[in-house]
Amino acid sequence: MEEHDAWMQKAMGYAQEALSNGEVPVGCVLVYQNQELATGANRVNETKNATSHAEMVAIQKVMRWCVEQNRNQKEVFREITLYVTVEPCIMCAGALRQMGVPLVVYGCSNDRFGGCGSILNIASDSLPSLGPGYDVIKGVLAEEAVQLLKQFYKHENPNAPDDKRKIKQASAE
Amino acid sequence: MREGTCVTTHCIQSAHIPAMSEAVLVPVLTDEYFRPVELVDFYVSNILDRRKTAEAVKLLSDCQPLGKFQHLKRVRNIGGKDSPLQILLCPLNKELDPNDSTLISDNAAKDSASSEVLCSANPHAQKCVLDADGSVSNWREKTTEQSALCIESFNSEQSSDLNLISDSCRIRHHEKSTFSQSCATINGNSGCSAKEISQHSVTNCKHDCTVKEKDSCQTGCEADGDSLPQRTRTGVTVRSLLQRQVQDGVFSKPYLVKVPRHGPLTRKQFEETKLYWPVTFHEDKRIAKLVSGKFFTASEVNQIKAYLQQADVMATHAQQKGQGSVGVVIVDSAKDTVIARGHSLTGDNPLMHAAMVAVDLVARSQGGGMWDMTDNGMYHLPVDSTKDPAAPDVTTETSSKTKSGPYLCTGYHVYMTEEPCPMCSMALLHSRVSRVFYSQPRRDGALGSRYKLHTLPSLNHHFDVFRFTTHLHSQQIAS
Ligand SMILES: [Zn+2]
Ligand SMILES: [Zn+2]
């Protein structure tokens, strides 16, 4: 448990960073063999790509690392734990499953897009073409994650044309 | 090699050459537009004194609004001009106990198709509701306690009572539970679908119901504030009102009939639903047009087909390069301009499904982009051209396009050779596309096959999805 809190605290730092860059404050850390292998923060505005979520950014970093280190990508992802401040959305939940990540730990749930139980359960539904499901631990530092999101939505995202990008985040578990 | 596993309806479809009149673009809608009529038990009385009809309707609507049965007309004429009128009272067991011999008609119950289920209903229901003597004071509080008691006693009853729960409960408890379902279930009894009634006798409707199923039904009931008896300003409950009406000879003793659970959403459903009970129907013009098969003109269909064929060419290229054989084209529908044309690159990166590639190509057309893409067979509109101020902007979606030019894929149409997976479907949703056309369904696809992501009410953006049902390859196109 303490281990989960410690890693999540790190993820929270990256969420904070995203907030100061005007992005949705979601941060994550990919832990491999008890080491921080990659981190991610939302980069949607910067990349003009709505799929640049923290998880996707971090996954991409691990892919690059595997190429540089000449490591087998599949084997590396099989030993990764994701710590993310907000429940992964349906897209990221699908990406994590296809990469074979076995464990996802998240903070607060995502009542709009959540793919690990809130809206759909991509983590454990029977989806044979996406590979086996993964385990999910939720509610780690949920309150902190909610606070960051609240801070963000107090000042609307200036890059969105209207307020539709709002993700109303659920309160802590 | 495809992305994931493909459902190969491909061969079946190509063997079948559809007539010109057959819809080639099928809208992917939620199941509720296609569901058959589902029936539930509802208490009715015959109106014995027809002059009092208007008054009775008013009194009843005041103390017992139809709520989730708003689609039902309160009164129906069973036969000709002089035949009795039936008036809807309340859903099964809302307040009236089937074992309440002082109020519920035995004779009428025997005539009713559902009466056997009703009469054999579990005894504990009687135990917990019979105390409710209809007295006006503290009715609400009392009944709250009683329903809690009822649930408790239901839990502790032996399993034979559970046998009374009809099969339809098991089927439906996955759906959003409506009041009548959940409450009917507490009484060990629930409605049957129209099909069940026509196929089986009522007793055949009874099946085992596991404890787990029962629990979920109860949760639905407890969570539903509407399940408590309504008490009006005047403090009249439906039960006390009925007692008076029956005594005064205005109403017959209540008995059960089967009524449609849901209001009709399409004309077809309306025609079917009104066979069971008169219903109101407000046709949704857009849905009507969508299901009519005439949503697109012939030239629009040809245009859609042409874009899908472009996507198909990309899929062929991908296959030749050893990538996932899925192609995609993204079009700014207002300007009829191709913004991005690409295909799956899963050979390079397992997440670079066709839609993910295309969304990133659009980002590149706006000076962004996130993935490493080495394949030079991809196309996107050059960066400057999307900001062309001379281009007329006649789209109705201009409101979303602010001063800074296009935002993500807002208003764009996506043409894919294969249904997107959950990840890709959500990527398209995040990107705010307005329409998705695809040709082949795929296993675990999220726009029709496994999920219908675009119809989930909680998501903040929605788009239309159409499946192209005829073959794409040019040599196989008749015209
Ligand atoms: Zn995400
Ligand atoms: Zn996909």
Q: pLDDT in tens for each of the 173 residues of chain A?
A: 689 999 999 999 999 998 998 889 999 999 999 999 999 998 999 999 999 999 999 999 999 999 999 999 999 999 999 999 999 999 999 999 999 999 999 999 999 999 999 999 999 999 999 999 999 999 999 999 999 999 998 876 555 544 334 443 333 33
**Contact indicator for A65, A42 with CB cutoff of 8 Å:** no
Joined tokens for residue B374: 């080495």
Would you state the pLDDT for residue B337? 94
Across A36-40, B32-36, B165-169, B220-224, the highest mean pLDDT is recorded for A36-40
Phi, psi of B468 (to 5 degrees): -85, 120
| Chains A–B, number of C-beta pairs less than 8 Å apart | 121
- pLDDT (mean) for B68-85: 86
Least confident of B85-89, B248-252, B306-310: B248-252
Out of B75-79, B264-268, B282-286, least confident range: B75-79
CB-CB neighbours of A70 under 10 Å: 6
Is A55 in the active site?
A: yes
Please report the ipTM that was assigned to this predicted complex.
0.90
Q: What average pLDDT does the segment B311-324 reach?
A: 95
Q: Spell out the residues 6+ positions from residue A93 whose beta carbon is closer than 8 angstroms to its own.
A: A104, A114, A115, A116, A120, A122, A123, B422, B423
Angle formed by the axes of helices B211-223 and B139-156, nearest 10°: 170
Q: What pLDDT sits at residue B106?
A: 47
The active-site residue out of A23, A55, A87, A144 is: A55
Low-confidence winner among B50-54, B103-107, B147-151 (lowest mean pLDDT): B147-151
Contacts 24+ apart (CB under 8 A), A115-119: A115/A87, A115/A88, A115/A89, A115/A90, A115/A91, A115/B422, A115/B426, A116/A87, A116/A88, A117/A87, A118/A87, A118/A170, A119/A90, A119/B456, A119/B458, A119/B459
Rounded to 10 deg, the angle between the B238-247 and B53-63 helix axes is 160
Strand partners, A103: A81, A135
pLDDT beyond 90 at B110: no
CA distance B175 to chain A (A): 15
Neighbours of B32 (CB within 10 A): 12
**Average pLDDT over chain B, rounded to an integer:** 70
CB contact under 8 A, A129 and B4: yes
- Top-confidence residue, B11 or A143: A143
> What is the A56 CA–ligand 1 centroid distance (Å)?
7
Q: How far is the CA of A149 from the centre of ligand 2 (A)?
A: 28
- Nearest CB among A127, A162, A164 relative to B444 is that of A127
- Predicted confidence (pLDDT) per residue in B362-371, tens digit: 999 999 999 9
With tokens 């209809």, the residue in question is B134
Tell me the C-alpha distance between B115 and B108, whole Å: 8
Say how far apart CA A93 and CA A26 lie, in whole Å. 15
- Which residues in B lie closer than 8 A to residue A164 (C-beta atoms)? 460-461
A interface with B, Cβ–Cβ < 8 A, is 43, 46-52, 56-57, 59-60, 63-64, 73, 89-95, 98-99, 111-113, 115, 119-120, 122, 127-130, 160-162, 164-167
Q: What is d(CA B43, CA B38) in angstroms, rounded to the nearest whole number? A: 16
pLDDT digits (tens, 9 = 90+) for B170-229: 323 333 333 333 333 333 333 333 333 333 333 333 333 333 333 333 333 333 333 334
User: B279 pLDDT exceeds 80?
Assistant: yes
pLDDT digits (tens, 9 = 90+) for B457-467: 888 788 999 99
Task: Tell me the chain A residues in contact with residue B372 when contact means C-beta distances shorter than 8 Å.
Answer: 60, 64
Whether the CB of B208 is below 8 Å from some CB of chain A: the reply is no
Predicted pLDDT at B391 = 44
For B393-435, how does the pLDDT look when each residue is reduced to its tens digit (9 = 90+)?
A: 444 344 444 445 688 999 999 999 999 999 999 999 999 999 9
Contact status of B430 with chain A (Cβ, < 8 Å): yes
Kind and range of the H or E run holding A30: strand A27-32
Cα–Cα nearest to B329, from B342, B318, B319: B342
B164 burial level (CB within 10 Å; 0-12, 13-18, 19+): buried
Across A15-24, A132-141, B115-124, B246-255, which has the greatest mean pLDDT?
A132-141
